[in-house]
Structure 1
Amino acid sequence: MSTLFKNLRVHQIFGANTDVGKTILTSALVRASTIKNNTVYYLKPVSTGAPEDADDGHIQRFAGPQKSLVHTECLFRFGDPVSPHLAVKMASDKNGETVRSPTDETFVNSIASYIRRCAMADRMGHMYIETAGGVHSPTLSGTTQADAYRPLFLPTLLVGDGKLGGISSTISSYEALLLRGYIIDAILLFRDEYYRNFEYLTPYFAERGVRVVTVEPPPPRAEDTATNVSITEEYYSRITSTSGDGLVYDLLSHLDDCHSHRIEELQSMRRRTLDTIWWPFVQHGLVKSEEDVTVIDSAWSDFFSVYDAPKGTPGNSNKNTSLLEPQLDGSASWWTQALGHAHPSLTQAAAHASGRYGHVMFPQATHLPALKLAERLVHAGPGKGWASRAFFSDDGSTGMEVALKMALRSFAVKAGTTLSSSAKKNLGIIGLKGSYHGDTIGAMDACEEGVYTCEWHNAKGYWFEPPTISIRQGEVTVSLPPSISSSSDSSNHAMPSLSSVYDVESRLHTSLATVYRRHIESTLSNLMHKGQQFAALVLEPLVMGAGGMIFIDPLFQRVMIDVVRDPKLFPARDGPQDLSQGLPVIYDEVFIGLYRLGFLSSTSLLGVYPDISVNAKILTGGLVPMAVTMASESIFQAFWSNHKTDALLHGHSYTAHPIGCEVANKTLDLLEKMTDSEQWKQAKQNWVEKNLEEGSSEIWSFWDRDFIHSLSHLDVVNEVMALGTVLAIKVKDKQAGYGSHSAQKLLQSIKFSPSDDPLLSSAPGGAPFGIHFRTLGDVAYFMTSLNTPRATIESIENRLWNTLSNAGSP
Structure 2
Amino acid sequence: MKRLTDPVASEKISERDKKHLWHPLTQHKTHPEMLAIAKAKGAVLFDEDGKEYIDGIASWYTCMYGHCNPHILKKVGEQMQQLDQVVFSGFTHEPAVKLSEALIKILPENQQKLFFSDNGSTATEIGIKMALQYHFNTGEKRNVLLAFEEGFHGDTFGAMSVSGLSVYNGPFEDFFISVERIPVPTEENIVDILTQLKNRLEQNDVAGFIYEPLVQGAAAMKVHEANGLDQILALLKEHNVLTIADEVMTGFGKTGKYFASDHITTKPDIICLSKALTAGLVPMGLTTCTEKVYKAFYSDEIAKGLFHGHTYTANPLACAAALAAVELLQTKEIQDNIQNIMQWHQEFDAKIKDHPKVGTTRQLGVIYALDLDIQMERYGNLRDKLFKHFMDNGVFLRPLGNTIYILAPFIISKEQMEKIYLTIQSALEIV
1:777 deviates by: 1.7
Asked if 2 retains the 8 angstrom alpha-carbon contact of 1:597 and 1:701, the reply is no
The answer to whether structure 1 residue 400 and structure 2 residue 144 are counterparts is no
Give the counterpart of 2:167 among 448, 451, 456.
451
1:371 deviates by: 0.2
Aligned-partner Cα distance in 2 for 1:774–1:625: 21
Asked if 2 retains the 8 angstrom alpha-carbon contact of 1:305 and 1:326, the reply is yes
Aligned-partner Cα distance in 1 for 2:102–2:320: 12
Q: Which residue is equivalent to 1:729?
A: 370
Aligned-partner Cα distance in 2 for 1:532–1:731: 43
Aligned-partner Cα distance in 2 for 1:593–1:297: 28
Give the counterpart of 1:340 among 66, 70, 73.
66
Look up the SS of the partner of 1:654 in the other structure.
coil
Q: Which residue is equivalent to 1:271?
A: 15
Asked if 1 retains the 8 angstrom alpha-carbon contact of 2:150 and 2:165, the reply is no
Q: Which amino acid aligns with 1:437?
A: H
The answer to whether structure 1 residue 519 and structure 2 residue 235 are counterparts is no
Give the counterpart of 2:385 among 723, 738, 745.
745
Q: Which runs of 5+ in 1 are unaligned?
A: 1-249, 308-322, 468-479, 481-511, 571-581, 684-699, 754-769
1:265 deviates by: 4.3
Q: Which residue is equivalent to 2:210?
A: 538
The answer to whether structure 1 residue 776 and structure 2 residue 400 are counterparts is yes
1:734 deviates by: 2.9
Which of structures 1 and 2 has the bigger CA Rg?
Answer: 1
The answer to whether structure 1 residue 305 and structure 2 residue 29 are counterparts is no
Aligned-partner Cα distance in 2 for 1:454–1:532: 29
1:330 deviates by: 1.9
Percentage of identical aligned residues: 26
Q: Which residue is equivalent to 1:161?
A: none
Asked if 2 retains the 8 angstrom alpha-carbon contact of 1:428 and 1:532, the reply is no
Q: Encode CA deviations 1:682-740: one digit per residue, 9 max, x unaligned.
A: x2xxxxxxxxxxxxxxxx715331211221211222212223332222212334x5344
The answer to whether structure 1 residue 359 and structure 2 residue 31 are counterparts is no
Give the counterpart of 1:617 among 254, 275, 284.
275
1:454 deviates by: 5.2
Q: Which residue is equivalent to 2:354?
A: 713
Aligned-partner Cα distance in 2 for 1:327–1:539: 33
The answer to whether structure 1 residue 381 and structure 2 residue 122 are counterparts is no
Give the counterpart of 2:410 among 777, 786, 800.
786
1:266 deviates by: 6.8
1:595 deviates by: 0.4
Counterparts in 2 of 1:453 and 1:268: CA distance versus 1, 3 Å? same
1:752 deviates by: 1.7
Asked if 2 retains the 8 angstrom alpha-carbon contact of 1:775 and 1:781, the reply is yes
Aligned-partner Cα distance in 2 for 1:532–1:644: 27
Look up the SS of the partner of 2:167 in the other structure.
coil
Counterparts in 2 of 1:664 and 1:435: CA distance versus 1, 3 Å? same
- Runs of 4+ more than 6 Å apart: none
Aligned-partner Cα distance in 1 for 2:231–2:335: 35
Q: Encode CA deviations 1:186-226: one digit per residue, 9 max, x unaligned.
A: xxxxxxxxxxxxxxxxxxxxxxxxxxxxxxxxxxxxxxxxx
Q: Which amino acid aligns with 2:365?
A: G
Counterparts in 2 of 1:657 and 1:344: CA distance versus 1, 3 Å? same
Asked if 2 retains the 8 angstrom alpha-carbon contact of 1:411 and 1:583, the reply is no
Aligned pairs for 1:326-337 (under 5 A) are 326-337=52-63
Q: Encode CA deviations 1:627-659: one digit per residue, 9 max, x unaligned.
A: 111110000000011011111111111111000
Counterparts in 2 of 1:461 and 1:677: CA distance versus 1, 3 Å? closer
Counterparts in 2 of 1:440 and 1:266: CA distance versus 1, 3 Å? farther
The answer to whether structure 1 residue 460 and structure 2 residue 171 are counterparts is no
Aligned-partner Cα distance in 2 for 1:563–1:676: 36
Aligned-partner Cα distance in 1 for 2:263–2:157: 31
Asked if 2 retains the 8 angstrom alpha-carbon contact of 1:740 and 1:778, the reply is no
Asked if 2 retains the 8 angstrom alpha-carbon contact of 1:614 and 1:628, the reply is yes
Look up the SS of the partner of 2:255 in the other structure.
coil
Q: Which amino acid aligns with 2:179?
A: G
Q: Which amino acid aligns with 1:790?
A: K
Aligned pairs for 1:324-723 (under 5 A) are 324-378=50-104, 380-383=105-108, 385-414=109-138, 416=139, 419=141, 424=142, 427-448=143-164, 450-453=166-169, 455-457=171-173, 458-467=176-185, 512=187, 516=190, 518-527=191-200, 533-566=205-238, 570=239, 582-674=240-332, 678-680=336-338, 683=340, 701=342, 703-723=344-364
Aligned pairs for 1:80-479 (under 5 A) are 265=9, 267-287=11-31, 292-307=33-48, 323-378=49-104, 380-383=105-108, 385-414=109-138, 416=139, 419=141, 424=142, 427-448=143-164, 450-453=166-169, 455-457=171-173, 458-467=176-185
Aligned-partner Cα distance in 2 for 1:714–1:266: 48
Counterparts in 2 of 1:614 and 1:714: CA distance versus 1, 3 Å? same
Aligned-partner Cα distance in 1 for 2:100–2:319: 9
Asked if 2 retains the 8 angstrom alpha-carbon contact of 1:297 and 1:305, the reply is yes
Asked if 1 retains the 8 angstrom alpha-carbon contact of 2:137 and 2:304, the reply is no
Asked if 1 retains the 8 angstrom alpha-carbon contact of 2:152 and 2:164, the reply is no
Range 454-463 or range 785-794, more displaced: 454-463
Asked if 2 retains the 8 angstrom alpha-carbon contact of 1:541 and 1:602, the reply is yes
Look up the SS of the partner of 1:391 in the other structure.
strand
Look up the SS of the partner of 2:395 in the other structure.
strand
Asked if 2 retains the 8 angstrom alpha-carbon contact of 1:410 and 1:638, the reply is yes
Q: Encode CA deviations 1:17-57: one digit per residue, 9 max, x unaligned.
A: xxxxxxxxxxxxxxxxxxxxxxxxxxxxxxxxxxxxxxxxx
1:398 deviates by: 0.6
Look up the SS of the partner of 1:522 in the other structure.
helix
Asked if 1 retains the 8 angstrom alpha-carbon contact of 2:148 and 2:182, the reply is yes
Counterparts in 2 of 1:335 and 1:354: CA distance versus 1, 3 Å? same
Q: Which amino acid aligns with 1:782?
A: I
Look up the SS of the partner of 1:392 in the other structure.
strand
1:523 deviates by: 2.0
Q: Encode CA deviations 1:753-804: one digit per residue, 9 max, x unaligned.
A: 3xxxxxxxxxxxxxxxx01221222222222111111221112112222332
**TM-score, with normalisation over the residues of structure 1?**
0.50
